[in-house]
Amino acid sequence: MVREGSAPNFCPPTEEGITITLVDEKGEQVELEFLGLVLKGESSFGFFFPVDDEHPATSSGEVVVLEVTEVDADGQPCSFELVDDEVIAAEAYADFQEAAKDLYDFA
């Protein structure tokens, strides 16, 4: 089943529970569930849920906002950076909540 977002600036995951593994600034691997991507001006922001034994994919919890810093030859995000600016992160997250309101419960 292909999932569809409710906004033209939103790229949802192609299916529920897709995870990726990224390496953090300490060199440690972190598994994250991909929730979607929002295009905001010239920037793209990915939204992820940290996955571990206590918080499996498709569960809920704190959302991590990462900015896309590099895309591959196919135009797909391949490098991300944590958004340090709280105002930018909050604005991007608000856009994500609006765009993904039909896919996720933000109660």
pTM score, two decimals?
A: 0.83
pLDDT at 4 over 60: no
- In this structure, of 1-5, 9-13, 44-48, 81-85, the range with the lowest mean pLDDT score is 1-5
- Give residue limits of the domains in the chain: 10-100
Tell me how far CA of residue 78 lies from CA of 2, 47, 90, 101, in angstroms: 21, 14, 23, 26
pLDDT, position 34: 92
Amino acid found at 49: F
pLDDT, position 3: 47
pLDDT digits (tens, 9 = 90+) for 9-38: 888 887 888 898 988 888 989 899 999 999
- In this structure, of 4-8, 11-15, 30-34, 44-48, the range with the lowest mean pLDDT score is 4-8
